[in-house]
Amino acid sequence: MREGDRAEAERLLTRAVEEEVRRSGGRSDGAVLLSRARAALDTMAEAAAEEYGAYTRALDEAEAGRLTFGQRYAREGAGTPLLVAAVAAVAACAADLALGTGAGTAVGAGATVAVVGAAATVLKVTASHVPAASRRAGALGQPGGPEQLRLQWLTALEVRGIRPFLDQQRVLSASAGAKQGAPQLRRTDKSAAARRRNVLEQSFGQLPEPAGPFTGRRTELSRVAQWVQAARASTETKPTVVILHGAPGSGRSTLAIRAAHSLKDQFRGACVVDLRGDSTEEPPLTTRDAMLHLLNRLGAPREQLLFRERSSPDQQVRRLGELYHQHLTGLPVTIVLDDASDAEQVRALVPERSDSLVLVTARKPLDLPADLPAWVHQLPVDALDAAGAEELLNAAAQEKPDPYDAEASDRVRELCGSLPLALRIAGSSLGPRTPRQLASDLGAYGPVEPVERVLWLRYTDQTDTARRLLRRLALAGRASLGAAAAASLLATDEQEAIRHLTALARAGLIDHVRGSRYRLHDLVRGFAQARLLDEEEPSERTAAQERLIVNYAELADSVIRLVDGKTSTRADQFGPHGFTSLDAALRWLDDESSFITAALRHAEGVNQAAVLNLLGALCDYCLLRGDLYRLGEISELTQAVDQGLLVRSVQWRTGIAARQLGELDKAHTTLSSVVNLYFEAHHDAGAARALCSLGITLHHQGNLTEAAAKLQEAMDLQASPDLAADRAWTMHALAAVERDRGHLALALDLLTEALVLHREGESVHGEAWAHFQLGQLGLRLGDVPRAERELRDALDLYGRTRDARGEAWALTQLARARLVDGDPSTAAEGLRQAASRHRENEDARGEAWTIYYLGQSLEETGNLDQAVRELERSRTMFSRMRDVYGLACARHHSARVTRDQRAAQTGSLRNSGFARQLLVDARADFQRIGVAHGEAWTCLELAVVDAGNARTPGALALCDEAAGLFASYGDRRGEDWARFLRCTLLPYGSPGGLEVGSAVAQEELAQLSRTGHPLRDGKLDDYVEAYQLLLERGVDLDAGWQAWRLGMVPSRHAREVMGVAVTAAR
């Protein structure tokens, strides 16, 4: 803008801001608002660029023909008139001198004549200039003149630039005010809080059960409780750290677990992490891995557990430490750091700013740094006293010795070093042995360590099979195991394995953890490992290890096959082990997942096909359960091994997990690379599965055209009958894409065939998703009863497969069905419950769509303010996860509700600038991703806004565009609405004027009324009839467009259902 014009625009801007501040009652900050407005002035001026251009052109043309007084005087008075005046003055002076007049008088007379002549010249020029200036001023004010164009420019600037900007600032101010009014609600991450609460509730169940005899440690237990109570009574919030130090076998870990159970009412969660500080078999657990384990058990955000950074170890530990301490701030939990040896590592794992209890077990006292903000206590765990040792021997005995032999008991205690582990194992032989026989047998082993002495005794007491099992249990690592692992190691059936496990547990050689799970004590594992190396050939050890992996691969495949059916990854791979039900199978895999992960770390030299099968089944389980921590572990494990097929298989699942978390860009990148890897390896079945996952990710990103292409490419690769089960998954994914593109008939055909293939492939999970997609398709067609039936079938099948994520999605769509059926209150309640389920599952996309539908439900109940807030929340979530389709839908409906909200406040559509901008953005999004249905309805909503603001020609053009878009995919319902809105606008915007426009509108309405069909919106027939009557009575142009005031515009429900003809199926 020119300087003068900019100054005038700023004066207009200042007046508008002052008016806005007065309207808000002083709530708006005028200085801040004015500074923002001035910064955005150039952007606002673009809205009136056309009017400003016309004004400047007219101004330049007017300036070109204008003469100033000086220019006119130079042209008309500076030539001959001045010369004549000068000549007359000289002549007068000469005449006077000739007549004898004095020189002074003669010169005076000449000067007088010159002045009079000049004045006459000026008067003459003035007489011609004043009328010309008056005529020019009149021309400037004429229609089409610069002055009128200036006013038009200023009006356009205010209406199309300044007012929409102020409306937008008003909405932003209201949003900011809401945040300031309830800061805690806005700052709380509901998703993380819900999952953390759920995980913490379950964490105590992950602790080893406090089974077996526990004697001689009640004093130590009470001291730990006293220290916790003292810390709670303090005004400072600091954790209590208790270092339990003593010799191996002294009962440090048992004491820590007992303390965690006894104090569970004072803490919200608990976790044990084995630091392996003094292990000779495996390297110590790194601080990074310990933090990841603790974060997983204590409910940290799952994306932090899946995506393991590749930065330096120090940077990783620093970042994880920040997350760890932030997560546990103000959260009292019990943490057991078992077998610690590094004081700095312990210091890093002590949660600051919480009332937590940290129980550290170590062989020696640990000197923690003096600056550690915690109450630190050292508690020695020594050998038991005589009374405690006697009590433990009697508690572990099969039969109580009778008569009592004090001397023999003292001798046994001495040989056992009064260590609880040795006493418990030795005591288990009392009954068949007398105390004296036990003392004699123990003494026969000579000068060895007490625990080793006892282990040799009880090892030789066992049968050959039990000894073989004990030796081979060392192959299973440090994780707990069950009957399946024992059966695999012994090459026997599970009943036989259970019998031997029970015998070893009675002998005290294995510890009962919980249920039917057992594990080896570190000292017992070391003993068993030594016996394995001494007494078995390497080939026998390798065969046992391979048998363990192969059998577990068969079992895990059987479980996942019961869920997913005969997919290409596990077709015809049922092993000899079966399960009585799907629920029993999933329970087994729940128990065994930790053991499988540990076993995979020791799978060197084992058949790689079996390892791949086991990895694939475990990854699928992790996806089903949402156990992304374990999926991250497996990903790291395969990358360390660096075997192509293993890496591809795990990366594929990692990409799927990223999509479930809402990390769509990361999922897209990962899956694209996996597709390329499979193609490079000429593995078409794997490439097709990865292409299917990539297509689903593209669908979630809103890139529907490319998603359909990728899914079709996958289907082409899966044309073989052997890949029919894989093809079924791709078909129902493609059906979802085609549904959103408006191709409902094709979507129905795909889903019908997919459901048949899933049933043939015995895929319970696939059937669930097919029913779910059929339910969504039913809602799009407006067939609520069928939709609810399909969705309830899906919900039941999700429950059978324990798919919490699928259950939450089914609940969302069932609640949406209530909304489509006209019951918004029930829908809102159901959607709130579904949103809570999505938050627990950390399914960001599911939560975003549920909140989106909740906003629509609140709109239907009349709560527009809350509806806008929920729709804006969903818009923010879609924007964050880069879901363009969801973002466009949220913008569309947020604009509708914002428009209605402003109209309810002002009584007109005049203040819809912000809503219109949202609609423009939504239309651009729909256009970019090729969703004609969304673009068409957005055009109609834009037409409503433009018509309400007297921009009738633009509104008519938008209606015509919408009609063409609806016709492009056969949506007769939407096309009828576009035609009707066009008829309501013709009297106001027809080039032929009111009479011609009314006549054309009447004719088109009559034609619309004659061409009825079942897919038409039921309200539209009534609107057509009413508007025909209105046209017959005559339209008053001064009253403006009447369709909005009469409520004859499409509602939310009008857009909900597609009017596309679909042949009934099934």
- Reply yes or no on whether the pLDDT at 359 is more than 90: yes
- For residues 20 and 26, give the distance between their C-alpha atoms in angstroms, rounded to a whole number: 9
Average pLDDT over residues 979-1004: 85
- Give 13-58 pLDDT, tens digit per residue: 888 888 877 777 666 777 888 888 888 888 888 888 888 888 888 7
- Give 125-143 pLDDT, tens digit per residue: 676 656 655 555 555 455 6
- Give 550-579 pLDDT, tens digit per residue: 777 776 666 666 655 555 554 444 333 445
Q: 302 falls in which pLDDT band (50, 70, 90)?
A: low
Contact between 1051 and 1043 (Cβ < 8 Å): no
- Give 882-902 pLDDT, tens digit per residue: 888 999 999 999 999 998 888
**Homologous superfamily of the 822-930 domain (CATH):** Tetratricopeptide repeat domain (1.25.40.10)
Overall fold of domain 195-380: Rossmann fold (3.40.50)
pLDDT at residue 67 in the model: 56
Q: Which residue has the tokens 């039941």?
A: 796
- Give 239-256 pLDDT, tens digit per residue: 999 999 999 989 999 999
Listed in sequence order, the residues at least 6 apart from 447 whose beta carbon sits closer than 8 Å to its beta carbon are none
Q: How much of the chain is in helix, strand and coil states, percent to nearest 5?
A: 70, 5, 25
Of the listed ranges 287-296, 397-406, 539-548, 725-734, the least confidently predicted one is 397-406
Length of the chain equals 1066
- For residues 243 and 365, give the distance between their C-alpha atoms in angstroms, rounded to a whole number: 7
- Give 742-798 pLDDT, tens digit per residue: 888 899 999 999 999 988 888 888 899 999 999 999 998 889 999 999 999 999 999
- For residues 221 and 259, give the distance between their C-alpha atoms in angstroms, rounded to a whole number: 6
Kindly state the percentage of the chain with pLDDT values over 90: 27
In terms of pLDDT, which residue wins out, 729 or 64?
A: 729
Q: DSSP labels for 150-172?
A: HHHHHHHIIIIIIHHHHHHHHHH
Contact between 549 and 603 (Cβ < 8 Å): yes
Cβ count near 563 (within 10 Å): 24
- Give 170-202 pLDDT, tens digit per residue: 655 643 443 333 333 344 455 556 666 777 888
Provide the pairing of β-strand 517-519 with 511-514: antiparallel
- Among 295, 298, 319, residue whose Cα is nearest residue 309: 319
- Reply yes or no on whether the pLDDT at 473 is more than 80: yes
Joined together, the tokens standing for residue 129 give 């200039």
- Give 627-671 pLDDT, tens digit per residue: 666 666 666 666 655 455 556 667 777 788 778 777 788 888 888
Listed in sequence order, the residues at least 6 apart from 110 whose beta carbon sits closer than 8 Å to its beta carbon are 89, 90, 92, 93, 96
Mean pLDDT of the residues in the chain: 82
Q: Is the peptide bond before 332 cis (omega within 30 degrees of 0)?
A: no
